[in-house]
A and B are shown apart, each in its own frame.
Chain A
Amino acid sequence: MRLLRIAAAAELSTLLVLLANLLTVHAKAITTLCGPLHGVSYVAVIAATSLASSTAPNGALWRAFIPGIGGLLAQRALGVRRG
């Protein structure tokens, strides 16, 4: 599930960039760029998890709602179920 992998990486990395920016230089350009990107990747993680968990619902979708690391947790939950 490539979409989930990309979205999960984007979700975490944009959040880290936002927090680092908040703690250091407060550059407005970084906030206006990464804020919406983080929002989109958060929603994309939830959507991708919903598309990926094709059989009986498991905990993956609810893990996807967790901010920041939800994508990674969902990937893990889906991977565990497969393997």
Chain B
Amino acid sequence: MLLEHVLLSVHVLGSIVFVGGSAVATSLFPRYAPAAGGEGRSRDVAVALHRITGGYAAFGLIVPLVGMVMAGVQGRMGEIWIIVSMALTAAAALLLATQIYPRQRQALADPGDGDPARLRRLSMLAGFYNLTWAIVVVLMIARPGSGAGA
């Protein structure tokens, strides 16, 4: 019982701090990334947000790992809400690793001549990323298909 409480605490704390941090950083990056004619834009802030996006997401790996250990301990691995959550988590991780992070790097390396379409696309991708986590949280709370009746 104590073990499960510790695992759940690490799982929730990790999702708030690490996943939440990277989600906020992805959302704010397009606002501060260098672009032509932008007021209040700062390359230093954008670089920091870029590092938070990647670094916090890497530490965020602890969240699905602990979640899977918990599901295994409780014998819930086959329940549909866990499987869908794992698929969504994988999708979010791939979206961040293959789209958002490289595009941020590109925007920093080559600010371009005021190409707002690129930053708008980053905003859109950040929205998808955050939406995925919102769905996962709803799944974690509603637990559809849970054998224990939530």
A binds B: yes
Q: Assess the A39–B58 pair: CB atoms within 8 A.
A: no
Q: Which listed segment binds A: B5-13, B88-96, B116-124, B128-136? A: B88-96
Q: Assess the A47–B58 pair: CB atoms within 8 A.
A: yes
A3 to B78: give the CA distance in the assembly, Å: 28
> Is A83 an interface position by the 8 A CB rule?
no
Nearest-neighbour CB distance to chain A for B117, whole angstroms, equals 20
Q: Assess the A50–B102 pair: CB atoms within 8 A.
A: yes
> Is B144 an interface position by the 8 A CB rule?
no
- A: contact size bracket: 10 to 19
- B: contact size bracket: 20 to 34
Q: Assess the A46–B72 pair: CB atoms within 8 A.
A: no
Nearest-neighbour CB distance to chain A for B69, whole angstroms, equals 9
Q: Assess the B101–A50 pair: CB atoms within 8 A.
A: yes
> Is A54 an interface position by the 8 A CB rule?
yes
> Is A37 an interface position by the 8 A CB rule?
yes
Question: Contacts A36-B68, A39-B86, A44-B61; is A54 near B96 (CB within 8 Å)?
Answer: no
Nearest-neighbour CB distance to chain A for B94, whole angstroms, equals 6
> Is B77 an interface position by the 8 A CB rule?
yes
> Is A66 an interface position by the 8 A CB rule?
no
Contacts of A46 in B (CB 8 A): 93-94, 97-98
Q: Assess the B64–A50 pair: CB atoms within 8 A.
A: no
Q: Assess the B102–A37 pair: CB atoms within 8 A.
A: no
> Is A33 an interface position by the 8 A CB rule?
yes
> Is B54 an interface position by the 8 A CB rule?
yes
> Is A57 an interface position by the 8 A CB rule?
yes
Q: Assess the B94–A43 pair: CB atoms within 8 A.
A: yes
The proximity string for B residues 39-59 relative to A, scoring 1 for CB distances below 8 Å and 0 otherwise, is: 000000000000000100110
A36 to B69: give the CA distance in the assembly, Å: 10
Q: Assess the A32–B86 pair: CB atoms within 8 A.
A: no
